[in-house]
Structure 1
């Protein structure tokens, strides 16, 4: 109940906003008509027009010569997608995964096989995340709730010249609803499996002429689905001599991993006196408190450890407990929970200087703190002792300035600059005695990390003849980063084993030029074809987990780069009842940042924890997206993607941990399909059944150790069903949904970094079948 206690003030504020919306709705009958119009719009064809801003200006999705999956609020609601990771189910060649307990609450993301899954601030994201045009600089805290959104844009391929910050794989942009000149509101409540309770709502207010405000909030709570079991209680008299712990209960269940515990609040204020001035100020707060990710032991080396520690498909004996030893005078327990608190502010101002020129300023600040514990071996074996505690603090400021203009009727241009400054402090307490039994390998880290980025960019769009558009973009980026390592014993003295690192500062700095050229031609109002060549990079950095000073000082690495060649076709056929979009691409992927098996070239003979630019390769693939409305009320959407990649060369320092024959990217195949039909019931309202199905091909799980065969996660299929009734006035709806209809058991990620020491590895487990009922009221 901790999350409930900590979010009491939020719930009160949420209830106040909802009550205000209800009061306004009662006083102003026009709200009912507004709700009816909005609900009816949500039931139109899935190929309704979506306007995107991927090229710094508003354009129809089908007029934009980029590979974009754009999902508006209507489709998000019909699929019941409420967090960002769910977007990947329908987005071709996109992988979004909430990372496991070792990495806290972070989002691993890749697009077209290029991304980043390690949360450490020493590394840069491979996919750019944006909320209301503001760059989100880390993976930590990136599992956003899709709260009160207008749309989501998923841009595939490098975005070096088209976003505030360089993004090698692509970009995911979330756009929240802006305050408008109306009074309206919405309240929604959900109850479902494992005591799931969701409450969300929004309210829009007119404060004065040209001044409006919007407030929205969400609260989510659900029990976990992996039982954390006390081994000594469940198996009394076990051969390992592990005794039960006090307070385990008669069922021996200590806790349930995989909880949801999330609360968020966003408020925005807009002043818009006319076409020449618009300013939106946004503030948001997020609190997350829950047990660690749902994970179970999936690998055991019987030569090192007993098979008895493998509990089952939905249970674990992990105890997050360490006995006395070394620097620890008495036994202690790490938290099996994480806590995240974050807030941010932004101001987005556009000033029209004349009919063909405007200036846009985007200023933002963000701050968060996350704390979480880990059990590295995921067993109850006290002889192993592998626990960690992490406390990550983060500050971020960014400023972006754009000038958008037109020259005559046939040339559009954008020039601008971007600056960001970010600071992290990564505190960790590691008790990893398994590395050297008997030596009690334990230390404290409290590492400050500083990074900044400066960039100038420009884009020119010209239409020399009717139907033909040429686009060129250029960007210069200069980045720097420093990481100071603090390695202490628990009592504050210099670490016995890692003392040579204490006070060492690793530094990276560099610059890069990106460019893009594109040509598109509209053969008819129904058909647009385009070709484009573009570059992008993932920033350089420093080795995050060195074992000695040489690895830290000499282990900095340069950016990895992509040159992407793409051709595509966008069509609206049969009076816009069928939309088909195609894209094919080839990526030259160079200077790939890979872990080394030997650090001798860096002057270190210690175990190697360094990363270097150590490979080159080629990735190619294609994507198809379809939306159709063959008859009124029937909507169908589908996507299909294929991806393959091979290394051209690998640095010998990587050893046999990665081979030339290994795939660079997986899964090869990914597809999805969704169908819904709105049946009109006259005065009884309407009823809309919907079914979504998604397939993800097998994915690489890497090697357990150098020289061993590469392993794969099995392919999996997810089906989701939803039935929605709306009243005749279209302001009340009730929905019943079932997610993971076929109760598919799948493991999208695993942690095997300590397998060679402990003989164990553990995997995330996908959510089992669950149901929910949703009631929504609009005002």
Structure 2
């Protein structure tokens, strides 16, 4: 048995040894007694009402304490309080989760428990799937602008797919939006902050006829640009986004529900531009700038080529829209549900990837994509029966056309031209899944699930054109996979407030293609599917109900053909990123969430994530050594290496949390005040990366103060993010001539007013 397995077993025994107080005191000394036996309320009932309201907002989802999983469940109130208005904000409220912008754009990469990969073209299945209202998004950019009028969110780490949706190796993020209501409700929220940033939301919901109700919600985002060009004083980063969502719900009887939803987003946001930190090629030197300064360029000839206006700043020009139909009917012993969805993406994105005023890596890409998904499920109708089961099937079909334009005019003598790459991708997959569980006496439950998936995808029509020069046409490639995924586990309700579980999961993720800046046919060789075998041991406990909650899990991942961004060297051209497979790798770690309510008014939440991992076999080009050889000899030569035993580069330690003091102000009002914090350890940009090849660690501190009435119909908040105004890098990457960091936002101070009736 390896040291890691010994460590994992020891950690599991340690958490089992945590003392559990089954009859610990609660915040109410009469908790558990029938209402008619309780003594009369004290003479100030209105103050009591405020106290109950405050307690209701924490230690949420008590029913989930009996569910054997490591999910992080987040209420809408927590998302608003922490300012989570996009997918990237979720890393501030969940353990072991990193969500990074790709080159400062709306596209994102996920890393959950260190599992994920950098897919700039976004034409492959993500390692962590995003769901909105149970609809999976084949391309994560499609979720842009949709995080408003939220009902809550869940983050599930590890392999998934035996109960719904698709198989995956890293996990999933499920987001829920508010449904129509049978009574009239309406509300609005206005958030104004530094750098003229404005965020506005509004909704209205109510009945249209008997059994028929609707909900309409929308948001706008404006301003907030905090970067400046030191050469001309122009500022960069202003938001310009609006989105609408509508839902129509029909319940003809108590057993049947039909929901039709539609949404639209227009995103013309300016992006966050990179700051060059190292020069790979050239002798002109890097610009010396402050952390909030960056340079960019848009040559008139390039603007004319891509059909955009001259002087265009790095920005998005995106449209996303979609519709879905949810249907369910309870037949008594079994419930049938169906989810049909169609999503589209129309993207035009300009980025200046070298971070200088020279045209060395100016990039514009267009995406025209759509995806259709269909899921059907049959499951047991009575959730309290000992025997539970689910069977279902899932189908997905996606189509994508991408075109990249590059301006290398100032990248001389190596290139000195403008070029474009175009490709199309078709994908289709089907899967069948099932899951069963049985609850035995003495609190023991066994469960097992199985999924079979077939995935076919192909890339075609790939063409690279050097304007005024040569043209290359590449033949298409295809890849197919048929794999099983599954899960088996056991849980034990050891005490009323303590659950222990162990599960083994196998995850599967199909292969795909690297299609960015293709120069030789070999770059289109598909990478292989990824599989992982995950062992997880977990604890859910409320040692002191309503005072202390501790949830924790330890995991070990055994990977085969883990999909990793490696390096390919094109002779007389330079190094390019390429998604490849590490034949063997592993990772392990733990995570925990601690909720504390030690005494009246104080509430604390702390998330902790720690993970390690290494490649056991990963032959690829050593980018750092290859770049060093070029710097010394002026010739590109691939320095091959095997990164066996090298750390996987993911942040080892992540921390986030918040504390809040909830103070009643007389019988009718309350004041909530407290700090929040985030720490993320260093992260390698390239395998084995050190120095500038690695993002530095950082710590961020925020704070808020909210004034509200006991009714909670409205609230007024002042807040600050990055209170200490720390300089930090949110993500990073490589262009043709430079390595760059995408800087994180500076201090923002703002105010928010919201009302709900």
SS at match of 2:80: helix
Cα contact 1:190–1:197 (8 A) shared by 2: yes
Partner of 2:328: 350
Change (3 A) 1:657 1:373: farther
Partner of 2:43: none
Segments of structure 2 that go 5 or more residues without pairing to the other structure are 1-46, 623-638
Distance apart, 1:533 and its partner CA: 0.2
Cα contact 1:191–1:774 (8 A) shared by 2: yes
- Residue 461 of structure 1 is aligned with which of 428, 431, 437? 437
Partner of 2:377: 402
SS at match of 2:522: helix
Partner of 1:278: 257
Distance apart, 1:435 and its partner CA: 6.4
Distance in 2 (CA, whole Å) between partners of 1:444 and 1:702 is: 26
Distance in 2 (CA, whole Å) between partners of 1:413 and 1:326 is: 59
Matches within 5 A, 1:197-346: 197-230=198-231, 252-254=232-234, 256-300=235-279, 304-307=282-285, 309-321=287-299, 335-346=313-324
| Farther off after superposition, 418-427 or 179-188 | 179-188
Cα contact 1:443–1:487 (8 A) shared by 2: no
Matches within 5 A, 1:40-439: 43-45=54-56, 47-50=58-61, 60-101=63-104, 104-230=105-231, 252-254=232-234, 256-300=235-279, 304-307=282-285, 309-321=287-299, 335-354=313-332, 356-381=333-358, 385-405=360-380, 409-433=385-409, 437=413
SS at match of 2:168: coil
Q: Per-residue displacement from partner, 1:500-549 (whole Å, max 9, x unpaired)?
A: 42xx2111111110010010010111000000000112220123237455
TM-score by length of 1: 0.83
Distance in 1 (CA, whole Å) between partners of 2:690 and 2:126 is: 29
SS at match of 2:140: coil
Distance in 2 (CA, whole Å) between partners of 1:129 and 1:269 is: 23
Partner of 1:567: 537
- Residue 514 of structure 1 is aligned with which of 482, 485, 507? 485
Cα contact 1:327–1:440 (8 A) shared by 2: no
Partner of 1:525: 496
Q: Per-residue displacement from partner, 1:93-123 (whole Å, max 9, x unpaired)?
A: 110122224xx42011110111133242442
Cα contact 2:462–2:473 (8 A) shared by 1: no
SS at match of 2:317: strand
Change (3 A) 1:652 1:607: closer
Distance apart, 1:497 and its partner CA: 4.1
TM-score by length of 2: 0.85
SS at match of 2:413: coil
Change (3 A) 1:718 1:550: same
Change (3 A) 1:670 1:557: same
Q: Per-residue displacement from partner, 1:355-398 (whole Å, max 9, x unpaired)?
A: x20100000011121101122322223xx543222111111110
Change (3 A) 1:195 1:609: closer
SS at match of 1:76: helix
| Farther off after superposition, 520-529 or 209-218 | 209-218
Cα contact 1:121–1:449 (8 A) shared by 2: no
Q: Per-residue displacement from partner, 1:153-189 (whole Å, max 9, x unpaired)?
A: 0001111323301221110000111112111111111
Change (3 A) 1:338 1:597: closer
Partner of 1:749: 731
Distance in 1 (CA, whole Å) between partners of 2:392 and 2:165 is: 9
Matches within 5 A, 1:463-542: 463-487=439-463, 489=465, 496-501=469-474, 504-542=475-513
- Residue 689 of structure 1 is aligned with which of 666, 673, 694? 673
Distance in 2 (CA, whole Å) between partners of 1:259 and 1:61 is: 40
Partner of 1:732: 714
Please tell me whether residue 677 in structure 1 is matched to residue 661 in structure 2.
Answer: yes
Distance apart, 1:202 and its partner CA: 1.6
Change (3 A) 1:67 1:263: same
| Farther off after superposition, 332-341 or 621-630 | 332-341
Change (3 A) 1:595 1:667: closer
Distance in 2 (CA, whole Å) between partners of 1:327 and 1:559 is: 37
Cα contact 1:107–1:142 (8 A) shared by 2: no
SS at match of 1:220: strand
Change (3 A) 1:537 1:39: farther
Please tell me whether residue 702 in structure 1 is matched to residue 675 in structure 2.
Answer: no
SS at match of 2:364: strand
> What's the Cα RMSD here?
3.1
Change (3 A) 1:39 1:422: farther
Q: Per-residue displacement from partner, 1:235-277 (whole Å, max 9, x unpaired)?
A: xxxxxxxxxxxxxxxxx223x2222222111111111244311
Cα contact 1:617–1:646 (8 A) shared by 2: yes
SS at match of 1:499: strand
Q: Per-residue displacement from partner, 1:55-76 (whole Å, max 9, x unpaired)?
A: xxxxx32122111000011222
SS at match of 2:289: coil
Distance in 2 (CA, whole Å) between partners of 1:87 and 1:640 is: 14
Distance in 1 (CA, whole Å) between partners of 2:131 and 2:120 is: 17
Partner of 1:30: none
Cα contact 1:132–1:173 (8 A) shared by 2: yes
Distance in 1 (CA, whole Å) between partners of 2:188 and 2:323 is: 25
Partner of 1:558: 528
Distance in 2 (CA, whole Å) between partners of 1:746 and 1:465 is: 53
Alignment: residue pair count:
692
Distance apart, 1:728 and its partner CA: 4.7
Distance apart, 1:282 and its partner CA: 1.0
Please tell me whether residue 642 in structure 1 is matched to residue 615 in structure 2.
Answer: no
Distance in 2 (CA, whole Å) between partners of 1:691 and 1:539 is: 42
Change (3 A) 1:226 1:528: same
SS at match of 2:241: strand
Partner of 1:720: 702
Change (3 A) 1:430 1:598: closer
Cα contact 1:42–1:74 (8 A) shared by 2: no
Distance in 1 (CA, whole Å) between partners of 2:646 and 2:611 is: 14
Cα contact 2:304–2:310 (8 A) shared by 1: no
Distance in 2 (CA, whole Å) between partners of 1:286 and 1:747 is: 28
Distance apart, 1:148 and its partner CA: 1.3
Distance in 2 (CA, whole Å) between partners of 1:707 and 1:731 is: 51
Cα contact 1:213–1:268 (8 A) shared by 2: yes
Please tell me whether residue 622 in structure 1 is matched to residue 594 in structure 2.
Answer: no
Distance apart, 1:677 and its partner CA: 1.8
Change (3 A) 1:206 1:584: same
Distance in 1 (CA, whole Å) between partners of 2:210 and 2:310 is: 60
Partner of 1:6: none
Cα contact 1:310–1:317 (8 A) shared by 2: no
Distance in 1 (CA, whole Å) between partners of 2:487 and 2:668 is: 54
